[in-house]
Structure 1
Amino acid sequence: MSHCCFFDLLPAELLYNLFNYFSGHEILISFYGLSDYMNAILRSYSSYKLNFKSISRFNFDLICRNIRSEQIISLILCDSDDTSGQSELFFSYFQIEQFIRLQSLTLIEIEFKSLEFIFYNLSKLKQLRSFSFDASTIRHTYGPMNLNFGNKLQQINSILIHTYVQILPQLKFLYLNGGWVLDSIPLSNLQY
């Protein structure tokens, strides 16, 4: 891929500034494969904001194959009907402790199995400043709501209590819905 394009004439800093206005998949879809220079710029860009709320499997794989975890600063994971199982697949590509620059994490309709993994490892995200989680959208992959769901919910609650105590001091923004967990967590560092 040795051909040249107009973007090859632009300095990296200008392209980085341009990329700040786009999501990660928009950047890769638009610029990946244009030239060797552009591919090198994409590999060196370190402020990707990934939103997997509604994305095709092709674009999901394109992102996961071409971005390194340390390049990601913002991540939205979603296991909705059109992206079912995505969070588990995402963590088959990446180890959570490799997200050394991740500042913002949003979880939407995440399945229990992935939630357990994420919450057990959340304290490894040392740069995390923003965390958003809606407990009312937990994906239940075990069939209809039953006793198993209640047990799983209690298990998640227990994990959350332990996790939040560890990560709350580093957070600047916390969004929780279905916040039954907050009743049991001391929020002594909370400022308003």
Structure 2
Amino acid sequence: MTNNINLSIEKLPVELLHRIFDNIDAETIFFSIRSVCRLFQSVVKTFDRFILNFQSISKSNFYKLCRSIDPKNVISLTLSNEIPKSNQIFWSISLVYFQQFTRLRSITFHDIDEAQFYTNNLTSICFLQLTSLTIKNLCQTIDEFQSFLLLTPSLTYLKCINGRNMIDGKRWEQFIEQNLFQLDKFEFYFHERRSITEQPYTDLELIIDSFRTSFWIEKKKWFVTCEYDMSSPETIYLYTIPICQSYMNYVSKSETNSLSTYSMIMNNDSSIISKTSSLKFTLNKSLANDIQEKKVTTNHRLFPKVTKLSLQFQKDWPIGIV
């Protein structure tokens, strides 16, 4: 006796289809899945967890999505300057459009400059429901950025790359304690150019001391590293561990001076670069010495998430070292 089982995706509950949609980008859902049949049109129409990524989208698709997807059904939004025309279209309607995102939980800005924040009146919108904010290639000063953060009091996750005059642990501590009570994770990668002093290492100590308070170490457990390349000591880098940038230019430890609030990780590259997917090596004698040392002291993969590697050879790179 055989049992005839009729397997069809159309028999799946709407809730299960919506769970599948959670892992599919909005363009695929709307332009591919929705057009399959009337049932899918209905299922897409009731979906209320769209993740809109305008980082790379055509002008026509942008208009179609804006006309067809109710902003109330969007929970995550990504904006970028990488596609100038699409970006200009979005900013032309940004204020009206943003005010309709009543269920928005996450925003990511790529290369959004200061003028776009203020010219488009984004600072007049209070994102009370927002829990996640990511800003890459931040162009604002710490004063301007913290003024914007006052509009996002419910943040639990904050990530920012670059910015101006951001290296001040005391100021960040006071601001977070007074305004971002729910912030659970804070990731950043800042760099700042300063006038060269006779004691650049002393500058590192002054900076890192502001991140050695009980707030950073015990309460939040947010650990940071501050460093400079000895070939260009005027540029100071400050970042949380692990590094939150997807791209990194790897510099040999012998060519940098660094201080960390968590000294145990200083010789553990796998902890520092666990989120980095693109890595650049400048192959020279100093790096060769680092590699030989790690062969002896390390028994695990140093860069587990790296999928793209760039190599630049210098004249002093030893022949035979791979």
Q: TM-score, normalised by structure 2?
A: 0.46
Q: Which runs of 5+ in 2 are unaligned?
A: 1-7, 184-219, 222-322
Aligned to 2:30: 28
Aligned to 2:176: 187
1:54-87 CA distance string (max 9 Å, x none): 1122222221111111111111011224544143
1:136-189 CA distance string (max 9 Å, x none): 4x5xxxxxxxxxxxxxx56xx65433221342x411110112243654552224
1:98-139 CA distance string (max 9 Å, x none): 21211110011225443223641452x222111011344x5x
* CA spacing shift, 1:81–1:45, aligned 2, 3 Å: closer
Counterpart contact for 1:78–1:87, Cα < 8 Å: no
Q: How many angstroms apart in 1 are the aligned matches of 2:16 and 2:22?
A: 10
- Aligned-pair Cα RMSD in Å: 2.7
Aligned to 1:108: 110
1:48 aligns with 2:50: yes
Aligned to 2:88: 85
* CA spacing shift, 1:95–1:89, aligned 2, 3 Å: same
SS at match of 1:95: helix
1:176 aligns with 2:182: no
* Structure-to-structure mapping, 1:1-192, within 5 angstroms: 8-81=10-83, 83-89=86-92, 91=94, 94-116=96-118, 117=120, 119-123=122-126, 125-136=127-138, 158-167=143-152, 169-180=153-164, 182=166, 183=168, 186-188=175-177, 189=181, 191-192=220-221
Q: How many angstroms apart in 2 are the aligned matches of 1:19 and 1:112?
A: 34
| Larger helix fraction of residues | 1
SS at match of 1:133: strand
1:7-45 CA distance string (max 9 Å, x none): 554331121011011011111121223333322221210
Q: TM-score, normalised by structure 1?
A: 0.72
- Count of residue correspondences: 167
Counterpart contact for 1:119–1:160, Cα < 8 Å: no
Q: Name the aligned partner's letter for residue 97 of structure 1.
A: Q
Counterpart contact for 1:49–1:72, Cα < 8 Å: yes
Q: Name the aligned partner's letter for residue 187 of structure 1.
A: I
Q: Which runs of 5+ in 1 are unaligned?
A: 1-5, 139-152
Q: Name the aligned partner's letter for residue 172 of structure 1.
A: T
* CA spacing shift, 1:81–1:33, aligned 2, 3 Å: closer
SS at match of 1:110: coil
- Over the matched positions of the two proteins, sequence identity in percent amounts to 23
Q: Name the aligned partner's letter for residue 145 of structure 2.
A: L
* CA spacing shift, 1:84–1:119, aligned 2, 3 Å: closer
Stretch deviating more after TM superposition (110-119 or 127-136): 110-119
Stretch deviating more after TM superposition (126-135 or 44-53): 126-135
SS at match of 2:99: helix
Q: Name the aligned partner's letter for residue 161 of structure 1.
A: Q
Counterpart contact for 1:100–1:126, Cα < 8 Å: no
Aligned to 1:142: none
* CA spacing shift, 1:63–1:132, aligned 2, 3 Å: same
* CA spacing shift, 1:9–1:58, aligned 2, 3 Å: farther
Q: Name the aligned partner's letter for residue 136 of structure 2.
A: D
Q: How many angstroms apart in 1 are the aligned matches of 2:98 and 2:39?
A: 29
